[in-house]
Structure 1
Amino acid sequence: MHSSYKCSSVMRISSSTFFFAFFAILMLSCYSSPTDELYPTANLSTTWTNDYSGLVLHRKTDVAQFTCGFIGQGNNPSYVFAIFISSTSEYPWQYEIVWSANRDNPVRDNAILNFTAAGELILQDVDGRIVWTTNTTGKSVVGMNLTDAGNLVLFDDQRSVVWQSFDHPTDCLLPGQKLFTGQKLKSSVSLTNFSQGMFSLQLTNEGLFGYVDSNPPQAYLSRRVNPYGSDTYKERRRYMRFLNGSLSLFIYSSEPSDPDEMIGTRQASSAAQYVKLMPDGRLQVFELQFEAWTVLTDLTTRFVDECSYPLACGRNSICSDNQQCSCPTTKYFRPINDRQPNQGCSAITNLTCNSTKDQGFIRLESVTYSTFTTDKERVNLETCKQACLNKCECKAAFFRYNSNASSGECFLPSEIFTMMTVDPFLYNYKVSAFIKVQNARSHHSAIIVGSTIGSFVLLVAIGVIVYVVYRRKSDEEMDEEYLDQVPRMPNRFSYEELKTVTEDFSKKLGEGGFGSVFEGTLGDGTKIAVKCLEGLAHVKKSFLAEVQSIGSIHHVNLVRLRGFCAWKSQRLLVYDFMSNGSLDKWIYLGNREHVLEWECRKKIILDIAKGLTYLHEDCRQRIIHLDIKPQNILLDDDFNARVSDFGLSKLIDKNQTEVMTTIKGTPGYIAPEWWSSIITEKVDVYSFGIVLLEILCGRKIFDRSQPEESWHLLSVFQKCWEQGTLLDIVDKHSEDMQTNGTEVVEMMKMASWCLQTDYTRRPSMSSVVKVLEGGMNIESNLDYNFTDPRLKKNCSQEKDLTPLLPFVLSGPR
């Protein structure tokens, strides 16, 4: 290995421009042969720059060449650090990416890849921001190797694997690579945009499943594996392996035994191969033939026909037997692109959550849905339709039965992708689709208007009225049209409907910085919490931030935004109701109804971490909460924690890790870097560290009820850490916490890691989850100087907060 090696060859490839790739290789040859200058291994303390040094490591085998380095996205000046495969030719002209580190967060020219002396591989953008890391500091890493299998490996002095790219798959599997339960392949947006797309593939204990993103996800591919005999391998991780053009599923069996299921026909091949989850949801095997990558087989064809792919014809569209795409009706839907009908259809009038008299159905015979999942069984057609009318988020009712129409199955999706026609004589069920639309009551009104427009006087009067109303509209009222056009918006309620379900806003639960929260009950008995935003000066910003940020996301550890209302100057948000209220009343002395035991607190801590991980890493766009505090952590009946209140959230693109904005949040929970206006998701990690410390100590971050020298919890924490007396600050009002004091003190190390003053040294929330679940260790080289004079100054300005009772949705303080 060559620790002093630094690339000096010219090479950065755009996957969509093979001529450029050939030209780059040709230029490379002018200086030296790639294999003469590049090595498959590297030592610690090696740095590569994305200027004219795009290549990092290179490995040539008998059938292919693997190279890792920087590669461009289409024609954009942005790059990902990736592994790509090519032929063994000295000047290959076609490269394919099989793994990437930062697909959702590309870097720019002059970005740096640093293999540190501590054994961590770190990707930094040109401005110094850390974009991606292996998180392997302190793991005894001594070197890096790009293996013959195309696996990028960090290894220790025993040659054991510490980290490997095979454990972090993107959209491809290489021969011999395993996909374990808990892992998934995630498609790209397109062939030139490597960001995560809409489709995913994963193995469970029941079989192989493919999903399209929706709320909840819809399974378009389902291959269940039936167990045989006893499951003697239940303690090990199940997996599937790609080899010789096929997928072998090992769920109940284990190698060297035969797999439980083999998808595809195994054919020994000496050619290079890989399997890829395509942007349209297909799972295709590629093989290198005559210097070109060719589709060898489509593994999904066996289970999914052409019209069953969720986006075969786009959203709200019908795919016929001859794969023709059309809208359900031209009266209520129009094609997004007349020349490309496979792009789907959009509703002419969007659905709103008004009374059922404003809505109706389009009936489509012999039309069904490929991801039909039974929501109600043994029901008749009218019951199915009524269930959809009663459920605001329901977009259609799909009904099917065999011989008894009074005992059928009902599917009520909240999002409609491609529907498909079926032959009633060949299909096992009799099927009908009922697409919910805004009812045609306006047709009658149109007749009345049409009969009166002949009256000149009335026409002039109407014109004057319209003009006056238009001039009087406020900016907030004019925003309503915009709100209807925002993509992936949640359900919209009418103001009258919310006024009814809250009994004229009579059951007040509490009050936050932006307004009051009221309890309500929907027609089906479901309890909701309605947050009424007040104060015209800043309502618009908070309202749009919250609705756009969380309207379309769904996670078990996030409070679900069920809908919203925008009526004149009124702005209301509708949430799920959390019966056990907010975390603060359960952990603060003198303000808690019951002392939580240690196991319950651990579960709450893990729930919060998972919720933030979803916001930071799993959403289509990264969401920074910016106001994590106990008042914004809600608990359900079983004390499952959910992160709430995104009124301060700042939604940023995943390719943007830093946001410059004004200081927001709650004093005491604000990260030090706010004062330098360098805002990343690490501000949430800092706030999480404060909340974690409060949970462990059972007190507020700033508490005037304590002796003056103990007002600031961070000061006390630092002092006890230096003196080795951390057991003294474990919650004294819980006998169970005292009993588990050693474990609680160990958890304080996690808080220390999250509270690093240098935000680049804080862990990601996914790393926090891994530590909590026992999958990795806490960073050992930490800075224990937590206090900051600016934090003390702002903490002392904190006012007492108004407690909310069964439900809390606090606004900014």
Structure 2
Amino acid sequence: MASIIFLLLLTLSLTASAQKQTNITRGSLLTPLANSSWLSPSGLYAFGFFRQRRGLFIGVFISGISQKTVVWSARRNGDPVPSNATLLFTRDGIVLQSAQGEETLISTQPASLAAISDSGNFVLYNSASQIIWQSFDSPTDTLLPTQQLKAGTELFSPVSETDLSTGIFRLKMQNDGNLVQYPVNTPDTAPYAYFATDTGGAGDNVTLNFDPDGHLYLLNNTTGLNIRNITGGGYPTKETITMMKLDADGIFRLYSQNLTQNGNWSVAWSSTSDKCSPKGLCGLNGYCVMNDQKAECICLPGFEFVDQGNKTSGCERDFDAGSRKDTMVELSNTDWEDDPYSVLSLTAKDDCKQACLEDGNCEAALFTDEKDCSKQGLPLRFGRRNLQSSNLAFIKVGRHISTTDRKEPVIEEKNPGTGRKIRIISGSFVACGLAMVAIFGMIIYRYHVLAYKRVSGNDSTELNEHLGASY
């Protein structure tokens, strides 16, 4: 009961003054083990140390709920913070100091005052109380109510729920007014997009806005016009908190949580219900398959996962490309990025398959619309199963050449039955020969024994006769 009353008071405090903040003066410090964060006035948000799978990091997180949730990370791709480090607010800004006295700047702006507000914004002020930097202008993977995604800025997905370093997807508020999702390291062009609001040309001063009631919309700040509603909003603000997050799977979602129930986050809206929609979810040479509302990654035939624990790492060959006997394996109902080095006009799929098999540079071929055969090199990207597609993919696969295969060739017998008879007859001749040798050996042996006895008998008679004559 006491916790519910506390949460109600917390919510009323947030509603009454969402911009209240805790001021942090120069000389203030934090350590991971004691006094590890600076809290906003309501205690809902905090700036300081938090722990993830890779170790200790620094950022803003929602602290006043049972499930601590990180909403902004400083140096998200940097090394973990040592457990004996100290975070200082100095005239140079926010400084991380090691036990050996080495210093690393967390903020590059010298400031006179810092603050963490009840909106979750961490702010640095100059001596004239003007904002010189704020976390709301440098989002990582999350937007909070009252926060904007400005033209030219992006959100980047995390690697996973427990590793908040930069993942493989991005959401960009483009300078042309279009809000678009892409894989990382791709151009901002239509072939690489997998979600868009189709508002290109709406102006160069469009922002993604987020109201406390969960209303996401695009606003032209030059004209003041709302050009596109993304979510309808209308969620209660007195007992509910919301956030928008670009998740590790490439989908951005609106989450809500009822503070009075002390529960978990629930998904109020998502950019797509197709979890295989994000391009590149399964990495290079892998493709995505929906199985019971879950996205699963499968490797191309003849390939295996680079990292079994991380399916987005993609797939690599499980055979030696230089020592193999090639065959072609067919994959149906799959879509891939079409980036050919040669396109043939062929109407038969077997002709397309054979054309790739006979081409030493061809590793795969895409047969589309029963007329185009696109020869591809590796890697293949952006694979997904599409049951509505009639496209075929032919993958060149090599058979392992074992040490047995490398032995001297053996001439095959065309008639195994004849060979068996020859071996039986040959064996019989050998057996008979050995038997005859044994018989001849016995005869010769007996002959020599008898001859020896006759000679011995004759010698004895002559000797007796000689002795008798002597007496």
Amino acid at match of 2:109: T
Residue equivalent to 2:248: 279
Unaligned 5+ segments in structure 2 are: 4-20, 414-471
* Secondary structure, aligned partner of 2:226: coil
In the alignment, the residues of structure 1 paired with residue 162 and residue 316 of structure 2 have an alpha-carbon distance, to the nearest angstrom, of 26
Mapped pair 1:420 → 2:384: yes
Q: Show CA shifts across 1:31-78 (max 9, x none).
A: xxxxxxxx7111223333333120124231xxx71111111124x6x3
Mapped pair 1:155 → 2:134: no
Amino acid at match of 2:178: G
Of 46, 63, 67, the match for 1:67: 46
In the alignment, the residues of structure 1 paired with residue 186 and residue 321 of structure 2 have an alpha-carbon distance, to the nearest angstrom, of 17
Residue equivalent to 1:556: none
Amino acid at match of 1:97: V
* Structure of larger gyration radius: 2
TM-score of the pair, normalised by structure 1:
0.40
Check conservation: 2:26, 2:112, Cα contact below 8 A: yes
Of 267, 290, 294, the match for 1:296: 267
* Secondary structure, aligned partner of 1:40: strand
Residue 162 of structure 1, CA deviation = 0.4
Answer with 158-167 or 308-317: which moved more: 308-317
Residue equivalent to 1:434: 394
Residue equivalent to 1:675: none
Q: CA 1:269–1:360 in structure 2 vs 1: closer, same or farther (change >3 Å)?
A: farther
Check conservation: 1:399, 1:411, Cα contact below 8 A: no
Mapped pair 1:258 → 2:237: no
Residue 220 of structure 1, CA deviation = 5.6
Q: Show CA shifts across 1:579-601 (max 9, x none).
A: xxxxxxxxxxxxxxxxxxxxxxx
Residue equivalent to 1:125: 98
* Secondary structure, aligned partner of 2:319: coil
Residue equivalent to 1:490: none
Higher helix share: 1
Residue equivalent to 1:178: 148
Check conservation: 2:38, 2:116, Cα contact below 8 A: no
Check conservation: 2:335, 2:386, Cα contact below 8 A: yes
Q: Which has the higher contact order (CA 8 A, sep 6+)?
A: 2
Check conservation: 1:395, 1:416, Cα contact below 8 A: no
Residue equivalent to 2:445: none
Mapped pair 1:223 → 2:192: no
Q: Show CA shifts across 1:238-297 (max 9, x none).
A: 3212334353234x67563112x3323332431111111212222122212222332323
In the alignment, the residues of structure 1 paired with residue 45 and residue 104 of structure 2 have an alpha-carbon distance, to the nearest angstrom, of 23
Check conservation: 1:202, 1:208, Cα contact below 8 A: yes
Q: CA 1:384–1:273 in structure 2 vs 1: closer, same or farther (change >3 Å)?
A: farther
Residue equivalent to 1:701: none
In the alignment, the residues of structure 1 paired with residue 408 and residue 187 of structure 2 have an alpha-carbon distance, to the nearest angstrom, of 42
* Secondary structure, aligned partner of 1:93: coil
Residue equivalent to 1:591: none
* Secondary structure, aligned partner of 2:276: helix
Of 247, 253, 257, the match for 2:216: 247
Check conservation: 2:61, 2:69, Cα contact below 8 A: yes
In the alignment, the residues of structure 2 paired with residue 409 and residue 248 of structure 1 have an alpha-carbon distance, to the nearest angstrom, of 43
Mapped pair 1:308 → 2:281: no
Q: Matched residue pairs, number? A: 379
Residue 122 of structure 1, CA deviation = 1.9
Mapped pair 1:102 → 2:79: no
Residue 441 of structure 1, CA deviation = 9.2
TM-score of the pair, normalised by structure 2:
0.66
Check conservation: 1:399, 1:409, Cα contact below 8 A: yes
Residue equivalent to 1:400: 368
Q: Show CA shifts across 1:429-483 (max 9, x none).
A: x41223344x45959x9397673799xxxxxxxxxxxxxxxxxxxxxxxxxxxxx
Q: CA 1:225–1:215 in structure 2 vs 1: closer, same or farther (change >3 Å)?
A: closer
Q: CA 1:185–1:256 in structure 2 vs 1: closer, same or farther (change >3 Å)?
A: same
* Secondary structure, aligned partner of 2:225: coil
Residue 319 of structure 1, CA deviation = 3.9
Of 62, 66, 69, the match for 1:93: 66
Mapped pair 1:362 → 2:329: yes
In the alignment, the residues of structure 2 paired with residue 431 and residue 415 of structure 1 have an alpha-carbon distance, to the nearest angstrom, of 18
In the alignment, the residues of structure 1 paired with residue 154 and residue 145 of structure 2 have an alpha-carbon distance, to the nearest angstrom, of 16
Of 227, 234, 246, the match for 1:267: 234
Residue 96 of structure 1, CA deviation = 0.5
In the alignment, the residues of structure 1 paired with residue 284 and residue 119 of structure 2 have an alpha-carbon distance, to the nearest angstrom, of 39
* Secondary structure, aligned partner of 2:192: strand
Residue 83 of structure 1, CA deviation = 0.8
Residue equivalent to 1:192: 162
RMSD of Structure 2 on Structure 1 (CA) = 4.4
Check conservation: 1:59, 1:67, Cα contact below 8 A: no
Check conservation: 1:286, 1:297, Cα contact below 8 A: yes
Amino acid at match of 1:71: F
Check conservation: 1:214, 1:415, Cα contact below 8 A: no
Residue equivalent to 2:345: 380
Q: CA 1:256–1:387 in structure 2 vs 1: closer, same or farther (change >3 Å)?
A: farther
Check conservation: 1:396, 1:435, Cα contact below 8 A: yes
In the alignment, the residues of structure 2 paired with residue 71 and residue 359 of structure 1 have an alpha-carbon distance, to the nearest angstrom, of 52
Residue equivalent to 1:52: 34
* Secondary structure, aligned partner of 2:136: helix
In the alignment, the residues of structure 2 paired with residue 256 and residue 285 of structure 1 have an alpha-carbon distance, to the nearest angstrom, of 24
Residue 186 of structure 1, CA deviation = 1.7
Q: CA 1:54–1:340 in structure 2 vs 1: closer, same or farther (change >3 Å)?
A: closer
In the alignment, the residues of structure 1 paired with residue 82 and residue 400 of structure 2 have an alpha-carbon distance, to the nearest angstrom, of 54
Check conservation: 2:62, 2:68, Cα contact below 8 A: yes
Residue 363 of structure 1, CA deviation = 2.9
Residue 339 of structure 1, CA deviation = 11
Residue equivalent to 2:89: 115
* Secondary structure, aligned partner of 1:307: coil
Of 23, 26, 40, the match for 2:22: 40
Residue 411 of structure 1, CA deviation = 8.8
Q: CA 1:127–1:195 in structure 2 vs 1: closer, same or farther (change >3 Å)?
A: farther
Residue 113 of structure 1, CA deviation = 1.7
Residue 338 of structure 1, CA deviation = 9.0
Mapped pair 1:146 → 2:116: yes
* Secondary structure, aligned partner of 1:269: coil
Check conservation: 2:328, 2:357, Cα contact below 8 A: no
Identity %: 24
Q: CA 1:254–1:126 in structure 2 vs 1: closer, same or farther (change >3 Å)?
A: farther
Q: CA 1:86–1:273 in structure 2 vs 1: closer, same or farther (change >3 Å)?
A: farther
* Secondary structure, aligned partner of 1:420: strand
Higher strand share: 2
In the alignment, the residues of structure 2 paired with residue 318 and residue 288 of structure 1 have an alpha-carbon distance, to the nearest angstrom, of 34
In the alignment, the residues of structure 2 paired with residue 248 and residue 388 of structure 1 have an alpha-carbon distance, to the nearest angstrom, of 51
Unaligned 5+ segments in structure 1 are: 1-21, 23-38, 455-813
* Secondary structure, aligned partner of 1:166: helix
Q: Show CA shifts across 1:700-758 (max 9, x none).
A: xxxxxxxxxxxxxxxxxxxxxxxxxxxxxxxxxxxxxxxxxxxxxxxxxxxxxxxxxxx
In the alignment, the residues of structure 2 paired with residue 389 and residue 264 of structure 1 have an alpha-carbon distance, to the nearest angstrom, of 53
Residue 373 of structure 1, CA deviation = 5.5
* Secondary structure, aligned partner of 2:146: coil
Amino acid at match of 2:51: G
Q: Show CA shifts across 1:497-520 (max 9, x none).
A: xxxxxxxxxxxxxxxxxxxxxxxx
Q: CA 1:343–1:111 in structure 2 vs 1: closer, same or farther (change >3 Å)?
A: closer
Alignment of 1:440-459 (within 5 A): 440=399, 442=401, 446=405, 451=410
In the alignment, the residues of structure 2 paired with residue 104 and residue 339 of structure 1 have an alpha-carbon distance, to the nearest angstrom, of 20
Residue equivalent to 2:434: none
Residue 147 of structure 1, CA deviation = 2.0
Q: Show CA shifts across 1:650-693 (max 9, x none).
A: xxxxxxxxxxxxxxxxxxxxxxxxxxxxxxxxxxxxxxxxxxxx
